[in-house]
Structure 1
Amino acid sequence: MQKNPLFGILFVGVLILGVIASGCISGQGTSTGTTTSSSGKVIELEFWHGIEAPENQKVLEDLVNKFEAEHPNIKIKVVNYGAQDKAVTKIMAAVQAGTPPDLVWLNPAQTGFFAEAGVLAPVEDFIKNDPSFNKDDIYSGLWELGTYKGKIYTAPFDTNNLAIYYNKDLFREAGLDPEAYMGKALTWDEFRELAKKLTKDKNGDGKIDQYGFMVPFGTLEWTVWTWEVFLWSAGGELLSEDQSKPTFASDAGIKALQYWVDLVYKDKVAKLSDPDAGYKLDDFFAGRVAMTINGPWNYPVLKDQGWLNKTGVMLMPYDKRIATNIGGENLFIFKTTPEREQAAWEFAKFVMSPEFQVTWALKTGYLPVCKSALEDPEYKKFMQENPFIKIYVDNLQYGKARPPVPQYPDMSAAIGKAIEAALLQKKDPATALKEAQAEVELLFRS
């Protein structure tokens, strides 16, 4: 693998995010399946993912089995790499060891990092050589998420975005009509006032038992991903228009982080999540918070635990403009052998097909990446019967996405540390963000 100076700098930064344990990928095996279908032998692929919900893991396994049944010459070993925040380190350890996975499910913001490292088989090359694939059926904005320097490197697997879950029962207890808030967008001031009404000392001991909102806390990507929505809502951007320098320590960025700090310490209407666990629903289910940031992927969890009808969804609160962060994951095809790369592309095509997308969306709550899936009668009926999901589909119009630049992992780490310092009141938001931006500027100058 040919390396360049930028890759070396970035990989060192990624290693700082987590120590590579000597056995971090031991026991997972390696796929050496270099046999080809023309020889009548089976091509073996490894597919790494970080899907957390057991229900969703089962759906994926069933779909992989379906693919294998339709492609008897391809076998896929599915490996769960754990938390996405540490995935890059594990993947690059495997790459450097000469045993890369064939396919990886990962957020598209990492596209630039791996593209710059020269370890990907660009999806665009497969598209150009495959007239059977209808690229136009995939939303163009999703292709952009996997594009680096004008070339498509990674393919959409699923998509989602962020909104506010709220506990309908706690709204009623506060004298609020929960249905009036479904799909609604509140200003930051309106959201603060709503959180005040939902913050209570239920037993009269002078301590708050129920907070209106939970602020994501920690240094990892979930915290940064959710904060970016507030940055954009205040009119700010992560990078300059030409993506040549960071701009998140602007007045808008400082205002966004100050809003979080004030909700916790000044207004006392929000609690901090456990460290790097803002995506978990424990506090929400226990009634310790009335509102929390989350996405459509927990649809099966809410349904299975009897919470679907008790959970409302409103859009993210806004300052100057309504915003959300487009999430979801892409498929990264790593350089291996021509035969394995082609087999990986066959699986990628299956993933982007309406056959896969409708099933995945119906059973997991993730949103489809292809237009034909939204026209599927079964999915149309599903949205009509589940306003929870339809709100997220409609919310896509307000979406922005993390820039797929190679510096993103280290930029996210720097922002995460700044957010943590501000939320612990170790630094004021302005100081924390400006110091982080100065650190990130060095990456863009190299």
Structure 2
Amino acid sequence: MRSKMKAILLVLASIMIMAGCSSNTANNGGSAAPASNEPAAAENGGAASTDEKVELTFYYPVAVGGPLTQIIEQMAADFTKENPNITVKPVYTGSYDDTMIKTQASVQGKTPPDVAVLLSTELYTLLDMDAIVPLDDMIAADGGDEYINDFYPGFMANSQTGGQTWGIPFQRSTIVLYYNKEAFKAAGLDPEKAPKTWDELADYAKKLTKDGQWGLEIPTTGFQYWMFQTFALQNGKNLMSDDGKQVFFNTPENVEALAFWRDLSAVHKAMPEGSIEWATVPSDFIEGKTAMMYHTTGNLTNVKNNAQFDFGVSILPASKQHGTPTGGGNFYIFKGTSEAKQQAAWKFIKFMTEPERMAQWSIDTGYVAPRESAYETEKMKAYTAEFPQALVARDQLQYASAELSTHNNGKVVKAFNDSLQSVLTGGADPAAALQKAQEEADKVLAPFNK
């Protein structure tokens, strides 16, 4: 009897083992899951299994005006039409900050998105969270150097660290100067010549200021660290080290730069005092409430479609040299998802960053197409021939540097933003404010410098 029972148990155990192997194969597109978090390249060049149905959750933010949600959702639908086994579910997650908060909560809750667009500056924070996968193996299997080297180096600076690639540039930008040519004419200024230096910027802004119209608006909320970085780069050097472990806020050059920004309103009376909201500056420009503005090129199409006057776009005025930080968001692929999902996410990123699609994205939004080959497409050549303002942000990349990005980036940026705000809207002394920001940032970064 015992021998019969043993035989029956052995048969049952064998059946269970075979069923388990079959289940593992089905769940992983026909191959065993890798031991590493780095997904193995699929034989078809990084794509998911041709038989397995995959659903991707895609978080994306909107930080500029215009119908971006409709554009993103249509692009995702076009991808699914071409890849019927991969369904992309776009989830609009608010601003960049809102999207990062939602992403952090999802990662901590072990339900991360499969793919997301987040600020390129969140790279070190995402690495500290152990949230994202390196993309080098997928790039090598599908596109290689020909693909990755086609992205502008200025945009890759916030996408790579430690010899690895972690993000793929998507909705990327630089800060540009927009100006109302009709207002220039009325003030006796040449409408074809934007200010080239800080002195000219202050002079033009004063001449353009009149009842109902400011000469210049530069946002002092939301992304004030980014706006200040333009002045820092033009007057000295970048604000952080390449490894994201140090910041250089309290320098004589930065004190001078912050005083110049403050004086545009406090001394020259050419810019509103108090808070200048990020989201309302483009509306003020379109409505003629300001003759010039500093803003992201991501608002270019919004301005083009809504301004009822002739306007120009220029690279930013220089102090000791030209300079601008890059900006905007990258694609990231997240850990904690299946290999099939990671490979499908990579296929989606490749689709979204194809040259023709990047060209159309730039035309539709105003963001810089992050790939050089996008500017060689016929549609982009035709568009920029008709609307040369679309080339300014791209051409300014020769002067661009990486946007402020550090470990524990949220706390570092908050300390810096608060200090900038205290000067721009509260009358604090620039040197004292930058010293305070430096001390607070040094404390935040101390654990990363042991």
Q: Which residue of 2 aligns with 1:62?
A: 74
Structure 1 residue 276: Cα displacement: 4.3
Is it true that 1:186 corresponds to 2:187 in the alignment?
A: no
**Amino acid paired to 2:61:** G
Structure 2 CA distance for aligned equivalents of residues 296 and 236 of structure 1: 23
TM-score, reference length from structure 1:
0.84
Q: Which residue of 1 aligns with 2:352?
A: 351
Q: 1:139 to 1:236 in 2, by over 3 A?
A: closer
The 3-state SS of whatever aligns with 1:384 is: helix
Structure 1 residue 425: Cα displacement: 3.1
Q: Which residue of 1 aligns with 2:12?
A: none
Q: 1:169 to 1:305 in 2, by over 3 A?
A: same
Structure 2 CA distance for aligned equivalents of residues 420 and 343 of structure 1: 43
| Range with bigger deviation, 37-46 or 91-100 | 37-46
2:218 to 212, 215, 218: 215
Per-residue CA deviations over 1:147-196 (Å, capped at 9, x if unaligned) read 12221111111322111111122112112221233xxx521111111111
TM-score, reference length from structure 2:
0.83
Q: Which residue of 1 aligns with 2:56?
A: 45
Q: Conserved in 2, the CA contact under 8 Å of 1:147 and 1:404?
A: no
The 3-state SS of whatever aligns with 2:125 is: helix
Structure 1 CA distance for aligned equivalents of residues 171 and 55 of structure 2: 24
Structure 1 residue 317: Cα displacement: 2.0
Structure 1 residue 91: Cα displacement: 1.0
Q: 1:273 to 1:68 in 2, by over 3 A?
A: farther
> Residues 221-300 of structure 1: matches in 2 within 5 Å?
222-240=223-241, 243-272=244-273, 274=275, 276-277=277-278, 280-300=281-301
Q: 1:214 to 1:167 in 2, by over 3 A?
A: same
Per-residue CA deviations over 1:375-396 (Å, capped at 9, x if unaligned) read 1122112111112112222111
Q: Conserved in 1, the CA contact under 8 Å of 2:326 and 2:402?
A: yes
Structure 1 residue 131: Cα displacement: 5.4
Q: Conserved in 2, the CA contact under 8 Å of 1:145 and 1:403?
A: no
1:101 to 100, 106, 113: 113
The 3-state SS of whatever aligns with 1:62 is: helix
Q: Which residue of 2 aligns with 1:161?
A: 174
Structure 2 CA distance for aligned equivalents of residues 408 and 85 of structure 1: 12
> Residues 405-444 of structure 1: matches in 2 within 5 Å?
405-444=406-445
> Residues 106-121 of structure 1: matches in 2 within 5 Å?
106-121=118-133
Is it true that 1:146 corresponds to 2:144 in the alignment?
A: no
Structure 1 CA distance for aligned equivalents of residues 413 and 205 of structure 2: 28
Q: Conserved in 1, the CA contact under 8 Å of 2:136 and 2:165?
A: yes
Q: Which residue of 1 aligns with 2:101?
A: 89
Structure 1 residue 415: Cα displacement: 0.9
The 3-state SS of whatever aligns with 1:179 is: coil
Structure 1 CA distance for aligned equivalents of residues 176 and 143 of structure 2: 38
Q: Which residue of 2 aligns with 1:126?
A: 138
Q: 1:227 to 1:279 in 2, by over 3 A?
A: farther
**Amino acid paired to 1:60:** I
Q: Conserved in 2, the CA contact under 8 Å of 1:214 and 1:273?
A: no
Q: Conserved in 2, the CA contact under 8 Å of 1:114 and 1:406?
A: no
Structure 2 CA distance for aligned equivalents of residues 382 and 61 of structure 1: 23
Q: Conserved in 2, the CA contact under 8 Å of 1:217 and 1:272?
A: no
Q: Conserved in 1, the CA contact under 8 Å of 2:245 and 2:406?
A: no
| Range with bigger deviation, 225-234 or 51-60 | 51-60
Q: Conserved in 1, the CA contact under 8 Å of 2:215 and 2:270?
A: yes
The 3-state SS of whatever aligns with 2:121 is: helix
Q: Which residue of 2 aligns with 1:200?
A: 210
**Corresponding pairs, count:** 401
**Amino acid paired to 2:239:** L
Structure 1 residue 54: Cα displacement: 4.3
Structure 1 residue 242: Cα displacement: 6.2
Q: Conserved in 2, the CA contact under 8 Å of 1:223 and 1:278?
A: no
Structure 2 CA distance for aligned equivalents of residues 270 and 287 of structure 1: 14
Instruction: Pick the structure with greater CA Rg.
Output: 2
Structure 1 CA distance for aligned equivalents of residues 143 and 276 of structure 2: 48
- Cα root mean square deviation, aligned: 2.2
Q: Conserved in 2, the CA contact under 8 Å of 1:102 and 1:333?
A: yes
Q: Which residue of 2 aligns with 1:316?
A: 316
Structure 1 CA distance for aligned equivalents of residues 274 and 376 of structure 2: 38
Q: 1:364 to 1:240 in 2, by over 3 A?
A: closer
Q: 1:127 to 1:340 in 2, by over 3 A?
A: same
The 3-state SS of whatever aligns with 1:161 is: strand
Structure 2 CA distance for aligned equivalents of residues 371 and 34 of structure 1: 38
Q: 1:373 to 1:252 in 2, by over 3 A?
A: same
Structure 1 residue 248: Cα displacement: 1.5
Unaligned runs of 5+ residues in structure 2 are 1-25, 30-47
Q: Conserved in 2, the CA contact under 8 Å of 1:231 and 1:248?
A: no
**Amino acid paired to 1:42:** K
Q: 1:393 to 1:113 in 2, by over 3 A?
A: same
Q: Conserved in 1, the CA contact under 8 Å of 2:217 and 2:281?
A: no
Structure 1 residue 403: Cα displacement: 4.6
| Range with bigger deviation, 158-167 or 343-352 | 158-167
Per-residue CA deviations over 1:199-234 (Å, capped at 9, x if unaligned) read 113xxxxxxx3221113223x3x1111110101111
Structure 1 residue 435: Cα displacement: 0.4
Between the two proteins, what is the percent identity of the paired residues? 31
Unaligned runs of 5+ residues in structure 1 are 1-32, 202-208
Per-residue CA deviations over 1:274-324 (Å, capped at 9, x if unaligned) read 4542664122223221111123322332233244x5221122122111111
Q: Conserved in 2, the CA contact under 8 Å of 1:223 and 1:276?
A: no
Q: Which residue of 2 aligns with 1:175?
A: 188
